[in-house]
Structure 1
Amino acid sequence: MNGNGGLRSFSKIMSPQSKAIVYERHGSPDSVTRVVMLPPVEVRENDVCVKMIAAPINPADINQIEGVYPVRPPLPAVGGQEGVGEVYAVGSRVKSLSPGDFVIPSPILSSEKLGTWQTYVVKEEGVWQKIDKMCPIEYAATIAVNPLTALRMLEDFVLLNSGDSVVQNGATSTVGQCIIQLARLRGISSINIIRDRAGSDEAKEKLKALGANKVFLESQLNVKNVKSLLGNLPEPSLGFNCIGGNAASLVLKNLREGGTMVTYGAMSKKPINVSTTSFVFKDLSLRGFWLQRWTSLDKAKECTKMIDYLIGLVRDGTLKYETELIPFEDFSAALDKALGKRGSHPKQVLRF
């Protein structure tokens, strides 16, 4: 009631119309996605409406559209699970965020229904994490998946000390680039394996500029005595595999006795073959890492601190990786690059 005995009136807050990339069935992303206009959505009392600034095309996004990812949103769905945006409007009960704040979807609380490939997203306050506005948008949009994966894998499986070393395939990937730099910060050397392909010499130099200690082509490791190639570096106790097939075998080949290989991807879609010798005489361990499983383990405060830490490294120039900003209108071209149709490219980030 108001002072005159009348009823108070409340007007609904509505989001603007949103342009979105949607898919109504699973399949190849270049054939099942399309651009649509979504109607305005009510911003309820605990909701935050975010105007998206940038969002990447991650392998997991592609796998979700293909229908092969473990978590699949109900169809029809908007693509994308990561990105950065500016708060456009907030509901009456929202306390932690205000219009103008920069936010990212929290890796802890964002759901499989998020959909960051659209111009406006309305979700509950708890889905969003406020970040430093001074972080470059291409990093803000990509900080919560690949860099966080690299950080956790370095810390969760083997106790590493300064002077130790790690080995990885897929070293030119965003996770690979982050592992090189985060390891170097800890005084840990990195042995990196890349594919034999055009431009491999340039790729080697880029990785060395990031701090890679050794970079080998896969063909260079097809020798019996891999240890002789390491020079003064110790045999690694920890390895990372995101490819599978022969590339995974090369990681195992480099590990010392009792070493551990962590698999976090399968880009080749080929299985990991492990010799009996590796198990019996080297006592190797095989582990898996999935960021979504880790973030489900009540890690909210820890996760927030780690993202702030990683953004700090970006701001002071300690952590860097290649991205390519593409206008949202050029989604098809960005998708082709992300699918590998146009050769090898940096991570594609859509700019709204």
Structure 2
Amino acid sequence: MELAVSTLGLTKRFGSRVALSDLDLEVPVGSIFGYLGPNGAGKTTTIKLLAGLYRPTSGRAVVLGSDVATDRDGVQARIGYLPGDFTGYLDQTGRQFIGLLGALRGGADWDHVGSLARRLDLDLDRRMGTLSHGNRQKVGIVQALMGRPELLILDEPTQGLDPLMQREFLALLREVRDEGRTVLLSSHVLSEVEAVADTVGILDDGRLLATRTMTELHADAVRRMDLTFEDRVPAEALRAAAGVRCVEVTGPTAQITVTGSLADLFRVAAPYGVVDATTHQTDLADVFLGFYDERSGVSDAQHLHESAVGPAAKSSRLG
């Protein structure tokens, strides 16, 4: 498998604080890799190491076959990078800013730049200091995409974009992947990661907890469903079914939380006369809560609730 990104023991410390610890990460060429975790997990630190903006304390990062520490210029010439705090030069127009960056990279393809600007409904001739946050973010997206880079490294790329522009941006990412190029996407918006990612890396407290395909994540998801029975609810039998983690009973209906396959649950429930079954949609927020709860213990799941998802979980956002 050809890799766009490969790290081995990648570690970054700031004084006594460990921002990233022994990261072993692999991102295949031609894929969209979602990089997710709570605030302060180390996502932005990783991205800056891969983009050559930080030097590692120890370990190694290889991007597109080159060691970032020894060939930073070569790596930066082949990637498109959008930082999470992008502002550009506020006294320049978008066109001037793009032209400046294009000159540093050997010239801008203005036909391609114009096509990107039209798709994002961006006026390149307005001074960036007069643009809304969302429109400045569009300039950042255009500068990252304009050179058709082999690897896109994007930190919170849809900040400030309205839903229509978010959808267009995700379409652009799919096109990048379909052309055989690669995307590393760090995002707070779980729904957008779910919509485009092939693989997801789960980071917390500077450590990579796991890498999963989206199919694997959903297979391990914690699901919620309601089963309504003709007569009484066989609560104890349901609790004994494989994967069932919680059963709450209201009248003839059982509200059930289950992980993995539903086959054993339905096998147990069927003899008791199920008259209705409702499965509640599982989104990526549910997947993450289940992942942390099962693999990291209750305290870490609570940490995820409080510092990352919290009240925003229902809107599919991760901090």
- TM above 0.5, yes or no, is no
What TM-score bracket applies, with the shorter chain setting the length?
under 0.3
With normalisation by structure 2, the TM-score equals 0.26
With normalisation by structure 1, the TM-score equals 0.24
Q: Which has the higher strand share?
A: 2
Q: Which has the higher helix share?
A: 2
Q: Which has the higher contact order (CA 8 A, sep 6+)?
A: 2
